[in-house]
Amino acid sequence: MPNLTLQEKEFLEILIAKIKMHISEEEFGVSDLAEEMNMSRSNLLRKVKKMTDLSVSQFINQIRLQQAMELLRKSSYNVSEVSHQVGFNSPSYFIKCFREQYGYPPGEVGKHPEPSEDEPEQPVSHTSKRRWVLAFSGIGLVLILVVSWFSRDLLNVPIYKEKSIVVLPFKNDSADSTNVYLINGLMEATLNNLQKIKDLRVLSRTSAEKYRESDKSILEMAEELNVNYLVEGSGQKIGDNIVLNIQLIDGTKDRHLWSKQYRREVSDIFALQQEISKDIAKEIQAVITPEEKSRIEKEPTDNLRAYDSFMKGLELLNQGREENLLESVKYFEEAIQEDGQFALAYACAGMAYYYYDMFKADKEHLDQLGTYADKAMLYDPSLGESMIAKAMYYLAKKEYTEALPFLEKGLEFRPNSSLVIGLLADFYANNLPDTEKYLEYALMGMQLDAGSSDSVATSYFYLRVGNALIQTGFVDESLEYLDKSLEYFSGNAYTHYVKAFVSYAIDNDLEHTRELLQIEYDKDSSRFDILQDLGKVSYYLRDYDAAYKYYSQFNQIRDELQLNVYVHENMIIGETYEKVGKPEKGKQFIESYRAYLEQDQTAYKNLGLTMYYAHEGDFDKALSYFKEFEKEDHIQYWVILFLPQDPLADKIIHEPEFQKIWKVVERKFWENNAEIRSRLEEKGIW
């Protein structure tokens, strides 16, 4: 535990006292504690993290569980009664948390000897969460509000550090620059092996890359990346031998924990990779499951020429530049020619094709992507990259429900992969929208990816988190991340675009939103997505002539380019055409929207049918579908904000049954909003 000043110790004692005052209140959380302490939420989070290495929600949970242990040892209350007394209204969830903390369920407390005052109850070591153990010496059952009631021994118990680690770019000690790909390949393999261990939090390669030529200190890097451990490496190839020097550093103290020099023949490169990752995991006491051990120990190929070509291709693929993608495939294909069962080479070749075609309307390499993904799955279905390549194939085909199981399995095999987590975040943002999962994966990605050396890429990274936050109803937090996005790249047009809509959540001024959108459109008139939204906001303002002007331009572009996009907006486009005296054209759009709903797999299908039948004047049918929509969870905040402004709703909004259902929808949204924050805090993600 870091050395605390007297003021910090007193602060923690007061903090504990405040928690104890509300310990039986399940809903008492971070915001409530911040209010009790007369602090902002962000300041409380930073201060507690600095002093305890815990999030505030984890800190509160520790107090609850320590009090639960005290009650179970010193009173006659049963498990259910204790769970309620310490703020767990769900005994099953209490049992789960207790087991994670102590390694056994609360019902077995009597079977374990009570520790002495000098050796307080310790948490189990296999959990990946940060643990700060508080020894409550002599605490009675009656809560006393005097700070001195707490034993000073609380502050002498060690912190259990989270196993978070970053692998810094390895340095090439050889004068031969052509060996760089080999040294980078060893770094990549070390990183990939560590990423397979769920008990670790392993930052992405792009997070580390920005420190390749950095002169920052270990302490500075550790603080910027929010990690406890750093791996440094350097090496060279001498003839047929590899010499590699690896160091493990405690980033919180800039203290070398372990170092080792590895001398191996090139033919032993796979054993070398495995040995390095296992040595590091052992040193920081990371638990490696048998399945993870098996995946780490599996050699990708037994052909060194194939692996050499593969590493050259990987070097190009990792650079992320479009002009290098097809070049990387050539090396992957060379590797495949040497070893026709090289699953990792097949998978990476498929990924290169996916990225090359990602933003192209015509997926030129879809067949090759499918073939390579199938080959990867055939030769190694337990490889995370095989799962990723197969998921990418279905994403490219827009068969989203088929892609999801492969993404989820890929994350199971690669629990620290920022690539898979990013794909899942985008999946739940765009393909099968689910605001909670979108936010969860966006925040998970933030924990693993501290931003690359490319300020533009970092800007888009913050944009994703900000967009996920606003869709879930966290307005202030969203603005914070969107502003960070613009700090890294002020020209990020998509961030300005999202902020235009966030402005409405703040000021309820649609005219202002339209003005902000117009500014962005004037900067780039090719942005037909903004053109469509200018039409929509004008429609919400009942300015149908302006809406028609924007929609006419939008539809012209959509027709000329033969784009099958924004079909989900055709209902209000059709309504706009009808409002300006073009009923036949309007009807075409409305019926195309009705056909779209037949294939819609999202949570918004029943809402769309509600609006369709309200437009048709069939209110009974509209209300029946609205009642079905009421059952949906994790809807986007845009529905709450804009549905009351939709002229389509004018025809039905005053119906008592509609009002009744709408109140339920709004209430559920805000209840979900609070629960999402709580759940993500409990998972240590928020």
pLDDT tens, position by position, 563-595: 878 999 999 999 999 999 999 999 999 999 999
Average pLDDT over every residue of 230-258: 89
Predicted TM-score (pTM) of this structure = 0.67
- Is 101:131 a contact under the CB 8 Å cutoff? yes
Burial class (CB in 10 A: 0-12, 13-18, 19+), 110: exposed
Burial class (CB in 10 A: 0-12, 13-18, 19+), 177: exposed
Q: Top-level CATH class of 300-416?
A: mainly alpha
Which among 601, 521, 617, 614 is positioned nearest to 572, based on CA atoms? 614
Would you say residue 408 has pLDDT above 90? yes
Burial class (CB in 10 A: 0-12, 13-18, 19+), 499: buried
The predicted structure's pLDDT at residue 100:
78
C-alpha distances in angstroms, 551 versus 498, 523, 558, 573, 621? 20, 19, 10, 7, 29
Residue 404 pLDDT level (bands cut at 50, 70, 90) = very high
What are the extents of the domains in the chain?
A: 6-160, 164-299, 300-416, 509-599
- Of residues 143 and 514, more confidence is placed in 514
Average pLDDT over every residue of 399-412: 94
Least confident segment among 342-356, 591-605, 618-632: 591-605
3-state secondary structure of 171: strand
- Of residues 667 and 136, more confidence is placed in 667
Backbone angles phi, psi at 429, to 5 degrees: -85, -40
Q: What percent of the chain has pLDDT over 70?
A: 91
pLDDT tens per residue across span 7-28: 778 788 888 988 998 998 887 8
- The mean pLDDT value of the chain amounts to 85
- Is 163:284 a contact under the CB 8 Å cutoff? yes
Alpha carbon distance 459, 292 (integer Å): 34
Specify the length of the chain in residues: 686
- Of residues 129 and 100, more confidence is placed in 100
Residue 288 pLDDT level (bands cut at 50, 70, 90) = confident
Would you say residue 469 has pLDDT above 50? yes
The predicted structure's pLDDT at residue 92:
67
Alpha carbon distance 624, 637 (integer Å): 22
Would you say residue 290 has pLDDT above 70? yes
CATH number of 509-599: 1.25.40.10
- Is 334:303 a contact under the CB 8 Å cutoff? no
Average pLDDT over every residue of 313-323: 86
| Residue where the block lists tokens 């993870």 | 292
Least confident segment among 50-59, 151-160, 243-252, 542-551: 151-160
Helix residue ranges per DSSP H, 53-124? 56-74, 79-85, 91-102
HSE on the CB side for 548, CA within 13 Å?
15
Domains 6-160 and 509-599 share a fold: no
Alpha carbon distance 191, 276 (integer Å): 10
Which among 117, 126, 89, 92 is positioned nearest to 106, based on CA atoms? 92
- Of residues 230 and 175, more confidence is placed in 230
Would you say residue 124 has pLDDT above 50? no
Into which CATH architecture does domain 164-299 fall? 3-Layer(aba) Sandwich (3.40)
- Of residues 115 and 313, more confidence is placed in 313
The predicted structure's pLDDT at residue 305:
93
Alpha carbon distance 26, 6 (integer Å): 31
Alpha carbon distance 686, 320 (integer Å): 29
Q: What percent of the chain has pLDDT over 90?
A: 47
pLDDT tens per residue across span 175-192: 777 778 888 888 888 888
Average pLDDT over every residue of 436-441: 94
Residue 150 pLDDT level (bands cut at 50, 70, 90) = very low
Residue 452 pLDDT level (bands cut at 50, 70, 90) = low
3-state secondary structure of 230: strand
Average pLDDT over every residue of 214-221: 87
Question: The tokens of 217 are what?
Answer: 């200190």
Residue 441 pLDDT level (bands cut at 50, 70, 90) = very high
Cross-strand pairs, 160: 131
Residue 254 pLDDT level (bands cut at 50, 70, 90) = confident
Q: Dihedral sign for Cα 26, 99, 152, 683, please.
A: negative
Least confident segment among 302-306, 425-429, 455-459: 455-459
Would you say residue 508 has pLDDT above 60? yes
Residue 83 pLDDT level (bands cut at 50, 70, 90) = confident
Alpha carbon distance 627, 657 (integer Å): 9
Into which CATH architecture does domain 6-160 fall? Orthogonal Bundle (1.10)
Would you say residue 133 has pLDDT above 70? no
| Residue where the block lists tokens 């309820």 | 508
Cross-strand pairs, 202: 165
The predicted structure's pLDDT at residue 211:
86
The predicted structure's pLDDT at residue 530:
95
The predicted structure's pLDDT at residue 322:
84
Read off the DSSP letter of residue 256. E
Largest Cα–Cα distance in the chain? 84
- Neighbour count for residue 18 (Cβ, 10 Å): 19
The predicted structure's pLDDT at residue 461:
81
Alpha carbon distance 677, 673 (integer Å): 7
Which among 84, 91, 120 is positioned nearest to 105, based on CA atoms? 91
Would you say residue 121 has pLDDT above 80? no
The C-alpha torsion from 500 through 505 and 509 to 514, rounded to 10°, is 20
3-state secondary structure of 435: helix
- Is 272:264 a contact under the CB 8 Å cutoff? yes
| Residue where the block lists tokens 């639960």 | 68
